[in-house]
Amino acid sequence: MPPAENDLLRNIPSVDKLLSEPAISNLVQQSSRAFVVGLLRRVLDSFRQRISGRIAKDTGSVEPLESIVASVQAEFARLSVPRLCRVINATGVLLHTNFGRAPLGQKALEHLGEVAANYSNLEFDLDGGRRGSRDVFADRLLRQLLGCERAIVVNNCAAALFLALNSLADGGEVIISRGELIEIGDSFRIPDILRKSGAVLKEVGTTNRTRLADYAQAISERTRLILRVHPSNFRIVGFSCRPALDELAALARERSLPLMEDVGGGCLIDLQNFGIHDEPNPSDSLQSGVSLVCFSGDKLLGGPQAGILAGSANLVEVIRANPLFRALRVDKLTLPVLESTLISHLTGTAAQDIPLLQMLNQPAAVIGQRARAIAAQLSVPGSVQLRIIDGQSMIGGGCTPDRVVPTQLLAFSGGEPSPARLEAQLRCGRPPIACRLENNCLLLDLRTVVPEDDKLVAGAIQRVLRAS
């Protein structure tokens, strides 16, 4: 080893010496000695390697103490601060899968806090003084809301579909229209889920047209289930058809087969006022004679991630008895949030309690006023153009792009900072603000921003504009 390198290594401060540095003992106070000692060892190791690799040689001396302390501080911040953080969603996409879909309301969070921070009756029957079931909390409410005989809850809608198929059709055939073999996104494909469940896919009809007779002809002694899937995220228009749900239900009943529908969004509210007419309601599906529905908790229901299975008691009991139910069940964090969300729907206070619906209900004119109030606070550089324009908020969450609601947008275009730069800086801010970049225009839709955050948005935009 060359002497110079030897000297450099010898001069690296010891762990004990570093621990007596005020900046480092400060970190110990915020965490623990063991954690900080671990960080120190790692940082010192990497300095030793750099010296041996002669990367640090051109400094001509050992890494200064401050540089080691700074590295330890950076490493401390990297590991001790959560990465999962709030994002201000100014995209106007209400159920943005990238941003956690439906935000939760105050009532649901209070209920969650109360239940999760304490012991609870999660699996205890208080009246009887004996072991109870966690199934009861959602079941009693879903029976009322949907008019079903029985309901259970699992991790998400994908899990609900998988569990139902595995419970009811493992080793048998499931009949499904070719027009419904969809991909929901991020590797959730109906044919793949079906195969993994152990069921055999029996496709009928064509991509655009499937008739009742196609189903009828495909039924055999191997058939276990007819599956209907809401093609949430795309639409077949033009020369297309599929049987009405009640016709399909009548056929299933006649042949003593269960008809299951994956409804997807789980819309329990009337979206007619928003010009959205054909979003299926699981309660209507059950009314039409479907024996079993599944839908998500965090789409149009506006609650937590969950998959709800509801329908006839005997089918739901078979699914409940599948040992895989245990692997897919929900925990004490999900159940209180879901319970509160369902109570809001049942008692008719959903529009007030559920943020998704509050946001959806805001008239475009009110959103425009908020946008103008923000614009009035900004001093915009001469080269940047700021306008308030008409636009559209999207439902998102696997709904088709034509599920839109009119809104008004803050639109930045032109010069310096460029819309792309503005977008990047807002996205990388604290808290991050997500916007839309379209046709060289930066668009902010306040529909998906709570009004209390308007000030914060204005401040963030102003900082970015000023810094440029």
Ligand X SMILES: *Cc1c(COP(=O)(O)O)cnc(C)c1O
The contact set with ligand X (CB under 6 A) reads 156-158, 184, 188, 229-230, 232, 262, 264-265, 296, 307, 398
| Residue among 254, 251, 310, 320 nearest 285 (CA) | 310
Q: Cβ of residue 100: shortest distance to ligand X, in angstroms?
A: 12
Tokens of 123: 């699996």
Of the two residues 193 and 315, which places its CB atom closer to ligand X in the complex?
A: 193
d(CA 42, CA 278): 58
Detail the DSSP E strand segments found in 381-426. Answer: 384-396, 404-414
Of the two residues 184 and 367, which places its CB atom closer to ligand X in the complex?
A: 184
Strand 223-229 to strand 259-264: parallel, antiparallel, or no bridges (unpaired)?
parallel
Given a contact cutoff of 8 angstroms between Cβ atoms, the answer to whether 414 and 382 are in contact is no
Give the rounded distance of the alpha carbon of 436 from its chain centre: 18
d(CA 188, CA 39): 40
Q: Cβ of residue 345: shortest distance to ligand X, in angstroms?
A: 17
DSSP 245-302: HHHHHHHHHHTT--EEEEEES---S--GGGT------HHHHHHTT-SEEEEESSSTT-
Q: Cβ of residue 136: shortest distance to ligand X, in angstroms?
A: 22
Q: Cβ of residue 89: shortest distance to ligand X, in angstroms?
A: 18
The alpha-helical segments, DSSP class H, found in 121-156 are: 136-146
Of the two residues 91 and 305, which places its CB atom closer to ligand X in the complex?
A: 305
Q: Cβ of residue 97: shortest distance to ligand X, in angstroms?
A: 8
Given a contact cutoff of 8 angstroms between Cβ atoms, the answer to whether 442 and 461 are in contact is no
Q: Cβ of residue 307: shortest distance to ligand X, in angstroms?
A: 5
Give the rounded distance of the alpha carbon of 204 from its chain centre: 32
Of the two residues 35 and 188, which places its CB atom closer to ligand X in the complex?
A: 188
Q: Cβ of residue 299: shortest distance to ligand X, in angstroms?
A: 6
Of the two residues 257 and 309, which places its CB atom closer to ligand X in the complex?
A: 309
Of the two residues 204 and 306, which places its CB atom closer to ligand X in the complex?
A: 306
Of the two residues 95 and 108, which places its CB atom closer to ligand X in the complex?
A: 95
Given a contact cutoff of 8 angstroms between Cβ atoms, the answer to whether 260 and 290 are in contact is yes
d(CA 89, CA 94): 9
Q: Cβ of residue 293: shortest distance to ligand X, in angstroms?
A: 11
Residue type for position 123? E
User: H or E segment at 71?
Assistant: helix 65-80
Of the two residues 226 and 409, which places its CB atom closer to ligand X in the complex?
A: 226
